[in-house]
Amino acid sequence: QKESTLHLVLRLRGGATASAPLVDLVGNTFLDGEGNTVDLAAVAKDAPLIGIYFSAHWCGPCRHFTPSLVEFKSSLSEEEDVDFPIIFGSSDQDEAAMREYFGSMEGFNAFKFGDGKIEALKAKYGASGIPWLVVVNAKTGELVLNEADTEVPQGPKAYKKWLSAI
């Protein structure tokens, strides 16, 4: 597998680069909260775990769960000094709904609307409904926990449990 020139330069300079297995899993092009395009290294930074969150604006249970997930991410940052990157994969029918809903997800990144990785990942993890949170190892891309949304109400204790699994 060839390394891109940019990744080679960053690696040789000691700059941020995302692991190849994670890039293979989720891709390398995402949106930040301002709608700017960012790469996986900017999303993952040095985090040991990454969340992939499947949800949609039209989904009532999703609109109920998303604020809890935002609070979970925020409490990890504030109370535990932990960055838990979460990538939102939208099941919305149009980009305007996706962007409006994504606007409520402070600190998240998102797949671009309609990115083929969203459906591929939903199929890979058997995401039969939404909301659905998958936690993966940021270095290896390996699954840590499927349906992690069921553990988010436990707060930082859940994250520590996920971390102990890698």
How confident is the chain (166 residues) per 10-residue block, as mean pLDDT?
Answer: 47 60 95 96 95 97 97 94 97 96 97 97 96 96 96 96 95
Residues 108, 31: contact at Cβ < 8 Å?
no
pLDDT at residue 5, as a whole number: 52
If you compute the radius of gyration of the chain from its CA atoms, what whole number of angstroms results?
A: 15
Q: Within 10 Å of residue 20's Cβ, how many Cβ atoms?
A: 13
pLDDT at residue 101, as a whole number: 97
Which two three-digit tokens encode residue 21? Answer: 């297995």
pLDDT at residue 119, as a whole number: 96
Residues 49, 137: contact at Cβ < 8 Å?
yes
pLDDT at residue 17, as a whole number: 67
Q: How far apart are CA 95 and CA 117, in angstroms?
A: 16
pLDDT at residue 10, as a whole number: 45
Note the pTM of the prediction, 2 decimals. Answer: 0.89
